Structure 1
Amino acid sequence: MSSPALDLDTLVRDPATRIVVCCGAGGVGKTTTSAALGLAAAAAGRSVVVLTIDPAKRLAQSLGLEELDNEPRRIETGGPGELHAMMLDMKRTFDDVVVAHSTPERAEQVLANPFYQALSSSFGGTQEYMAMEKLGQLRARETWDLIIVDTPPSRSALDFLDAPDRLARFLDGTMIRLLTAPARAGGRAGLRMVSAGFGLFSRIISKILGGQLLGDIATFIAALDSMFGGFRERATATYELLKQPGTAFVVVATPEPDALREASYFVDRLSAEGMPLAGLVLNRTHPPATTALSATRAAAAAEAVAEAGGKGAKLAAGALRVHAERMAQASREQRLADRFAQAHGDVAVRTVPAAAGDVHDLADLEVMAAALTADDADSGTGTPRSRILPARR
């Protein structure tokens, strides 16, 4: 079964495309795919920023930089457009939210709070909250006409879709409501009634958590209403933005069983969330130089040439064996791709041949960008770029 062709060139050139989210399992080349798409878009004249949520340094390395930080840095590409790149620093983003949505005095108090320092550095879900916040900030600035998001290398790559609901559950949780009850009580009568119950609750919790920690938590929580009053709304607005036609999700995988199982999970999850899926990039494939000679015939020919001997026989037999191995590998990869297509027949696919080595600089990225955006029929072997081997007739 053949999959539709994924036209990434039109996708990144189209001014209507404002956000591209690349997701997939770890080790499939998702970061280099994001960077290559950004480079292709910049070469087409667009102003692009690539945001990586992955804490590894692969994006910086592929762009020829030593490091990236929480602010976009321009990459000199020599093209008509502009390419910027950045890596999410969740603590700095959290600190910026505190400063932007509170008074200077309150911001100083919160930033020095031990509970806040732990929350902003390592609390489960903080990275996803801040990814949604940073994406919303970039989109609101209107500085770039295309934002490409490189998500973390795991199933948690889509956890930022849950950020609004998870934040709501956190803010509306029983513990939070109890800790903020005195502050939320209206008038002295209400305050006396709440304080009576809260006093007993606080004494119990103090014995469990310790008085100092409880005080730190209560101080921090008391600032939530004023400091993060609009955070949930902003996260929800960004989530809704991801559902709009100007957004496209690109799932990246390699032709391996585990990676394609993860790709199926991402496709199903995006479908359930109503997110616009552009298609699948099947990375690091191994198409043969020609498909005119099957693996079986090449192996048999190699044996015949070796037995006949003569000048150049050893070299010719070796070349035939390499071709037989390449054909066998391509056949395995195509069977896996066909299995994916049977389960997700409407998902467009673009295959990208494996590079000779790791992607380290802009020259390597340009090669990958060309493989991602070249015409589907322009593979040089007669096989469309949506496949590894020609479809059987």
Structure 2
Amino acid sequence: MKKPVVLDIDAILDDPGTRIVVCCGAGGVGKTTTAAALGLRAAERGRCAVVLTVDPARRLAQSMGLTELDNTPRLVSDNVNGNGGQLFAMMLDMKRTFDEIIEAHADPERARQILSNPFYQSLSSSFAGTQEYMAMEKLGQLRRSDEWDLIIVDTPPSRSALDFLDAPERLGRFLDGRFIRLLTAPAKAGGRSAFRLLNAGFGLVAGAMTKLLGAQVIKDLQTFVSALDAVFGGFRQRAEMTYQLLQAPGTAFVVVAAPERDAMREASYFVERLAEERMPLAGLVVNRVHESPAPALSAARSAAAAEDLESRGEHELTAAVLRLHTGRMQLAAREHREQEHFLSAHPTVPVTRVRAMSEDVHDLTGLRRIGELLSSA
């Protein structure tokens, strides 16, 4: 395999100019663990770090010794290694973040009306793209607060990990859509002219929808969208500011992948998409790489030796160990080929590898070990 450019994790974490690290990658590759390990290592090196997970899985809380995480950063470890570093962690609560925005940008009465609106309750819980947009909002809130030296974001699995890059445009399309404009037009027109406009431009559609959905649903929907200009006007502006923040030199994207075909293909997709969006890519972490303690003994030689022992009925245990070694070497060879494909396509991307652990990471000791492996390349 061509020797790749080495990803220097400690240099990224130690650089005071690095304020945001975004971990992205396919599901099941150890992205959440990697984000937590980076946060712990940064704290051990004297930084005040917060890890924000958008992944609905609760592995982050468990690995940090917490019973649960919520929408507020929780202190995990204080004065780490005696150097003043701190580690905080939180899990994005999509609906709570949406509610906080309403409460912050509306008077109490209007906020009460919106929060109790059935359409808003559905939108804030399940509307496509809401999670990614709220992740942008929360990231922006954390950065504007300036309480942490370093913010590490653990994104959702698979390609949705990059959907938050599209959040401003998606929200803009929603707010500027013809259907929304029709619904808000009567309220903007005011008085009887509003009803004339509704009858002229929206009467047939409203009548059909009223029969289909019911008058109350249409009323709830109109009540909700009438507040869009007053309350949600700053959504796009804040999302675009966060988007620009992600493009700034103080941000580093770390793509996490397992040395498997699908995961490495996803890694290639992420690298190419980040380049298109002019996002600062730090490099690739290849996680759970299998190695052999006896690499000089090839798979072919160990398989032949095992077969010879089995044919003579001798040293059954030794033959079994040789068979295990054969499988391990074959697995390592497959992983080697997948990494080679990636490096051939992206020779300039810095890479670090983390060897497979014998057991799952479930506490700070395990996270600390992962951090050491990440930086040992």
Q: TM-score range by the shorter chain?
A: over 0.9
Of residues 78, 88, 91 in structure 1, which corresponds to 2:95? 91
* Corresponding residue for residue 300 of structure 2: 296
Which residue of 2 is the match for residue 273 of structure 1?
277
State which of 145, 150, 160 in structure 1 corresponds to 2:149: 145
CA distance in 2: counterparts of 1:372 and 1:192, whole angstroms: 64
2-side partners of 1:171 and 1:130: how far apart? Answer: 16
Matches within 5 A, 1:282-361: 282-302=286-306, 316-361=318-363
For 2:77 and 2:40, locate their aligned partners in 1 and report how far apart those are by CA, in whole Å: 10
The structure-2 alpha-carbon separation of the partners of 1:199 and 1:242, relative to structure 1 and needing over 3 Å to count, comes to closer
Q: With structure 2 as the length reference, what TM-score do the two structures score?
A: 0.93
SS at match of 2:255: strand
* 2-structure distance, mates of 1:320, 1:30: 33
Structure 1 CA distance for aligned equivalents of residues 255 and 131 of structure 2: 21
Contact 1:2 1:338 survives alignment (8 Å): no
- In 2, the alpha carbon distance for the partners of 1:351 and 1:266 equals 18
Q: CA deviation at 1:241?
A: 0.7
RMSD: 2.1
Please tell me whether the aligned partners of residues 136 and 238 of structure 1 are also in contact (alpha carbons under 8 angstroms): yes
What is the match of residue 384 of structure 1?
A: none
- 1:118 is the counterpart of 2:119: no
Deviations for 1:292-321, whole angstroms, at most 9, x for unmatched residues? 3323333445556778999xx555555444
Q: Quick one: structure 1 residues 109 and 189, their matched pair in 2 at CA, closer, same or farther if it must change by over 3 Å? A: closer
**Which residue number corresponds to residue 259 of structure 2?**
255
Q: Take 1:68 and 1:61, find their aligned partners in 2: how far apart are those partners?
A: 9
Query: How far, CA to CA, are the matches of 1:260 and 1:94 in structure 2?
Result: 34
Q: How does 1:362-381 map to 2 (within 5 A)?
A: 362-374=364-376, 376=377
Q: Is the contact between residue 309 and residue 319 of structure 2 (CA under 8 Å) also seen in structure 1? A: yes
Structure 2: give runs of 5+ residues left out of the alignment: none
d(CA) in 1 for partners of 2:137, 2:202: 36
For residue 247 of structure 2, give the secondary structure of its aligned residue in structure 1. coil
Q: Gaps (5+ residues) in structure 1?
A: 377-393
Task: Name the aligned partner's letter for residue 16 of structure 1.
Answer: G
What is the aligned partner in structure 1 of residue 20 from structure 2? 19
Contact persistence 1:264–1:340 (CA under 8 A):
yes
- Give the distance between the partners of 1:366 and 1:257, measured in 2 at CA: 28
Query: Which of these residues, 135, 141, 161, is aligned with residue 131 of structure 1?
Result: 135
The match for 1:197 is 200
Partner SS for 1:280 = strand
Taking structure 1 as the reference length, what is the TM-score of the superposition? 0.89
Tell me how many residue pairs correspond in the alignment: 372
1:242 and 2:246 correspond: yes
Q: CA deviation at 1:199?
A: 6.2
Give CA deviations for 1:227-247 in whole Å, capped at 9, x if unaligned.
011111000110111111111
Q: Deviations over 1:249-276 (max 9, x none)?
A: 1111111111111111111211111111
Query: Distance in 1 between the 2:302 and 2:15 partners?
Result: 44
CA distance in structure 2 between the partners assigned to 1:42 and 1:301 by the alignment: 49
Q: CA deviation at 1:205?
A: 3.2
Change in Cα spacing, 1:113 to 1:309, as seen in structure 2 (3 Å) is closer
- Quote the Cα distance in structure 2 between the aligned partners of 1:140 and 1:358: 35
Residues in 1 aligned to 2:13 and 2:294: alpha-carbon distance in whole angstroms:
30
- Structure 1 counterpart of 2:164, one-letter code: F
